[in-house]
Amino acid sequence: MLESIPGDPDSVLVLADALQASAVRLGATADAVRGLGPGAVWDGPAGTAFGGQVAALAPLLAAAADRSAGSAAALRAFAPALDRAQAAIARAVDQHLVAERRYAALEEEAYTLLTLGRTELDPEVIVVRQAQCGALAVQTDALATHRAAVADFEAADATCGAALRRASADAIGDSAAYRMVLGASSEGRAQDLISVPGLLLPPVGAAAGVVGAGADAMLAGFWDEGGWDKVAVNIALAGIGSWGKVLKAGALAGSTRTVTRGAQRTSTVTGASMTTRDRLRAGVRAEVDDFTDSLRGGSGKPFLKLSAGESARVTPEFVARQKVPWRVRAAALPDRAREWSRHVAATGREKTILGQWELASAGGTNAKQMYAAGVTLEVSATVTGKVTEQVDEFRAEDRRR
Amino acid sequence: MTTFRVDADQVAALGAGLADLAVALAGQGEDARADSWALGGGEATAAFEVAVGHWRHERLALARALDSLGAAAATAGAVYVDTEVGVGRSLIGGVQ
């Protein structure tokens, strides 16, 4: 069976139209922005300030417009070639199939004649054999047509690829590290995270949902995309506790525990100026160390203890299928997890949470948010507010003592 | 002394335009990998993903910047329009 070429020329033209429309819009905005010179439409202190900020975007807008226009042109030229190649290949496939069937039918005919006592030299059998040769010739023609169409497609494909690469050869583009983390976020490719140089290590053998959730945390922390609450909920729903520990360890990085001297309690913090990137890196290192220890004989128990039915329901695949807002997803958390959260609160972890919260607070707002997200993950609560509320309760109780 | 010369409608329109563009830009290319299937799975497919998808971070940053500038311009434009209308009414004795 001859292979066909995937793809859809009509969809390629739709993409080209969308890119062209985007190019026109970006270009028009770049022109409008350039036209905001002194006194053009908005003269005054506010206009000057605004014009200055917007003018800085003009080169980026122009580059994006050029990229879109170049890509649109490449696709527009490629679509007819893809259409021709697919049509030629479809004809060749059809021709080949018909000839193949014809040859098989003739073979049946020849077999019948031979079983009736005819020989290969008999005129009737010779006619059948000649017809078979004709069918083979048609198959050969179909193969040649197919090869030529594939070659035409490959040439058009290479030309389009080169044109798209030329269109993309500009100053805009994401870093390789960002793209790898983004890839891991959307597809859960553990290998991609491992290959980000000097950045992080996912838990060994992590499932797709775990890696995706970890990558979400990286995108939120390093590139300011998404919020800690979203990251926390995504990871919690994936049934993972370890990323909560990463965030907590990162939030506490550079801090030492509270020291009590008489009535005086002091916290020593050396990492108040640590960036989120530094904190995440430190958190990942701590978690990897912990994970390595667990391989050497530690407990390594999963944090969420769900029943068999619940565990089966809250899988990464389950989460991935839920195209609903995170609040709705959070509401789907098993009651068992909430019960367990209450159990944790009632069995003496208050002191730890309060002490760590104080240390995280000394590390700055970001460290506090990070810590809250980490605890949120661990106790399966769904919003940062709940954790702060919990800490406030602990603090009040602490004062009473 | 500070002087102002403003085409208020144009400033407001520019603000709305920037905000619209920000929304369009934020969504553009998010499905690059799925869309690239249409190109047949060869060299062009990979190059398309790079051209459309590999400036996501820059694109989102640009969208955020356009959005905030658009909001600023739209607000300022509306204020200038209101001021103009108000001053116009007061000069001809109208009620504000």
Q: Are A307 and A160 in the same domain?
A: no
Q: Which of A168, A191, A209 is a domain's end point?
A: A168
CA atoms within 13 A on the CB side of A76: 11
Q: Examine residue A2 and state whether it is found in any structural domain, yes or no.
A: no
Q: Are A180 and A161 in the same domain?
A: no
* A158 in B contact zone (CB under 8 Å): yes
Contact A74 B52 (CB under 8 A): no
The secondary structure of residue A333, as a DSSP letter, is S
Chain pair A-B, CB pairs under 8 angstroms: 143
What distance in Å separates the CA atoms of residue A70 and residue B50, rounded to the nearest whole number? 13
Residues of B near A (CB-CB distance < 8 A)? 2-7, 10-11, 14, 17-18, 21, 24-25, 28, 35, 37-44, 46-48, 50-52, 54-60, 62, 65-66, 69, 72-73, 76
Q: Are A275 and A386 in the same domain?
A: yes
Please enumerate in sequence order all residues whose Cβ is within 8 A of that of A71, keeping only pairs 6 or more positions apart, or say none.
A16, A19, A164, A167, A168, B48, B51, B52
Per-residue b or e along A263-294, where b marks 16 or more CB atoms closer than 10 Å to that residue's CB? eeeebebebeebebeebbbbbbbbbbebbeee
Contact B21 A25 (CB under 8 A): yes
Which member of B21, B40, B60 has the closest CB to residue A6? Answer: B40
The residue type found at B30 is: E
Q: Are A226 and A306 in the same domain?
A: yes
Search chain A and give the residue with CA nearest B37: A7
Interface list for A 215-234 with B (CB within 8 A): 223, 225
Q: What is the pLDDT of residue A282?
A: 67
Q: A4 near A93, Cβ under 8 Å?
A: yes
Q: Examine residue A183 and state whether it is found in any structural domain, yes or no.
A: yes
> What percent of chain A is helix, strand and coil (3-state, nearest 5)?
70, 0, 25
Q: Which two tokens stand for residue A385?
A: 């507010």
Contact B40 A153 (CB under 8 A): yes
DSSP line for A8-68: -HHHHHHHHHHHHHHHHHHHHHHHHHHT--TTSSEESHHHHHHHHHHHTTHHHHHHHHHHH
Q: Examine residue A298 and state whether it is found in any structural domain, yes or no.
A: yes
* A103 in B contact zone (CB under 8 Å): no
Contact B38 A7 (CB under 8 A): yes
Q: A269 near A254, Cβ under 8 Å?
A: yes
Q: B52 near B29, Cβ under 8 Å?
A: yes
* A19 in B contact zone (CB under 8 Å): yes
- In this prediction, residues B4-14 reach a mean pLDDT of 66
Q: Are A384 and A293 in the same domain?
A: yes
What distance in Å separates the CA atoms of residue A97 and residue A93, rounded to the nearest whole number? 6
Taking CA atoms, A20 is separated from A55, A68, A111, A384, B52, in Å, by: 23, 6, 62, 43, 12
Q: Which two tokens stand for residue A199?
A: 């950045």
Q: Report how many domains make up chain A.
A: 2
Q: A70 near A22, Cβ under 8 Å?
A: no
Give A187→chain B minimum CA distance, Å.
11
Contact B55 A43 (CB under 8 A): no
Q: Which two tokens stand for residue A283?
A: 């958190």
Q: Work out the pLDDT band at B61, boundaries 50, 70, 90.
A: confident
Give A230→chain B minimum CA distance, Å.
18
CA atoms within 13 A on the CB side of A284: 21
Give A60→chain B minimum CA distance, Å.
8
- Residue where the block lists tokens 């707002």: A365
Tens-level pLDDT at each residue, chain A (401 residues): 788 888 999 999 999 998 999 899 888 888 877 766 555 556 666 666 677 777 777 778 888 888 899 999 999 999 999 999 999 999 999 999 999 999 999 999 999 999 999 999 999 999 999 999 999 999 999 999 999 999 999 999 999 999 998 888 776 765 555 555 555 555 544 444 433 333 333 333 344 444 455 555 555 555 555 554 444 444 433 434 455 666 677 777 766 544 455 555 554 555 556 766 667 666 655 655 554 454 444 443 333 333 344 434 444 444 444 444 444 444 444 444 454 445 445 544 434 555 666 667 767 776 776 666 666 555 543 334 444 455 556 556 656 65
Give A23→chain B minimum CA distance, Å.
11
Q: What is the largest CA-CA distance in chain B?
A: 72
Contact A11 B38 (CB under 8 A): yes
Q: Which residues of A touch B3 (CB under 8 A)?
A: 43-44
- Residue where the block lists tokens 């030629």: A88
- Residue where the block lists tokens 């006194």: A39
Q: Are A188 and A156 in the same domain?
A: no
* A37 in B contact zone (CB under 8 Å): no
Q: What is the pLDDT of residue A149?
A: 94
Q: B59 near A24, Cβ under 8 Å?
A: no
Q: What residue numbers bound the domain in which A387 lies? A: 176-400
Sign of CA dihedral A232, A234, A240, A246: negative
Q: What is the pLDDT of residue A154?
A: 94
Give A139→chain B minimum CA distance, Å.
25
Give A319→chain B minimum CA distance, Å.
20
* A26 in B contact zone (CB under 8 Å): yes
Q: Which residues of A touch B50 (CB under 8 A)?
A: 164-165, 168
Domain extents for chain B? 8-91
Among A20, A29, A75, A76, the strongest candidate for a mutation testing the B interface, having the largest count of B CBs within 10 A, is A29
Q: Examine residue A269 and state whether it is found in any structural domain, yes or no.
A: yes
Q: What is the pLDDT of residue A380?
A: 40
Q: Which residues of A touch B59 (CB under 8 A)?
A: 64
State in Å, rounded, how far the first CA of chain B is from the last one. 27
Q: Are A136 and A242 in the same domain?
A: no
Search chain A and give the residue with CA nearest B22: A26
Q: Are A113 and A18 in the same domain?
A: yes
Search chain B and give the residue with CA nearest A43: B5
Contact B56 A174 (CB under 8 A): yes
Q: Examine residue A343 and state whether it is found in any structural domain, yes or no.
A: yes
Q: Which residues of B touch A50 (CB under 8 A)?
A: 69, 72-73, 76
Taking CA atoms, A321 is separated from A14, A170, A189, A324, A329, in Å, by: 28, 37, 18, 9, 11
Q: Which of A135, A168, A201 is a domain's end point?
A: A168
What distance in Å separates the CA atoms of residue A226 and residue A215, rounded to the nearest whole number? 11
Among B31, B39, B80, the strongest candidate for a mutation testing the A interface, having the largest count of A CBs within 10 A, is B39
Q: Which two tokens stand for residue A3?
A: 């292979």
Q: Which of A139, A168, A197 is a domain's end point?
A: A168
Q: Are A115 and A260 in the same domain?
A: no
Q: Examine residue A289 and state whether it is found in any structural domain, yes or no.
A: yes
